[in-house]
Structure 1
Amino acid sequence: MTTLDQAARRRVAIKSPKAASASACEALEQLPNVGPAMAGDLRQLGVHTPQHLIGQDAWQLYRALEQATGKRQDPCVLDTLMAVIDFMQGAEPKPWWAYTAERKRQHGQCLGLPPA
């Protein structure tokens, strides 16, 4: 394989096209809002395909990720989990920040935020 071929493969892996619907989503990296790092976090939690997200609880995955990594996760990770679960359950793709207000309403107190 030439160096050019290797470089092209790396770009393809990094720039996976995003799925327009849950039924078209075959790899974690095809989920809207998910890049290589988030896909790795999901795999660390045992989520290996987008279909594994159906019926999951974003808060439980968020807490499990904190336990698995031993680190506090940014609340935007919870927004992203909410977004990908919603998408896999049939919602239109939305940016993760579209879930921030909902996250604050549902989980703000657990995250130490003042009541909304």
Structure 2
Amino acid sequence: MTASHDESDLTELVNVGRSVAGHFESVGVTRIAQLVGRDPVELYERMSAAAGQRLDPCLLDTVMSAVDQAGGEPGRPWWHYTPERKRLQAGRRSD
């Protein structure tokens, strides 16, 4: 039996294991449906704040992947998002 998005476990997403699911849970995200339309950078910043330290930037790549997949995009490896993350971070530094 396949669960609906509302009942889905985050670890059903590509790149999301128990550790990453724990980071999502630390900011109140416990279901795939809660990721639809979310800002990955904002989620990553909240995860870092919840952890009390800046988390590995590759986690942002994973969050970007999870948000895209929750929105209907195909699951892609987290490193597919690294160039986009680096562009985003460079843009924020120049603001």
Report the structure, 1 or 2, having the larger helix content.
2
SS in 2 for 1:38: helix
- Give structure 1 stretches of 5+ with no counterpart: 1-18
For 1:43, the aligned partner's letter is E
Structure 2 distance, partners of 1:88, 1:77, is 16
Structure 1 distance, partners of 2:57, 2:30, is 22
Q: Is 1:77 aligned with 2:59?
A: yes
| Matched residue, 1:40 | 22
- Normalised to the residue count of structure 2, the TM-score between the two structures is 0.86
Q: Is 1:95 aligned with 2:91?
A: no
- Give structure 2 stretches of 5+ with no counterpart: none
Among 35, 54, 61, the alignment partner of 1:53 is 35
- Normalised to the residue count of structure 1, the TM-score between the two structures is 0.71
CA drift at 1:56: 0.6
Identity %: 38
User: Between Structure 1 and Structure 2, whose CA radius of gyration is higher?
Assistant: 1
What stretches of structure 1 move > 3 A for 4+ residues in a row?
none
Q: How many residues align?
A: 91
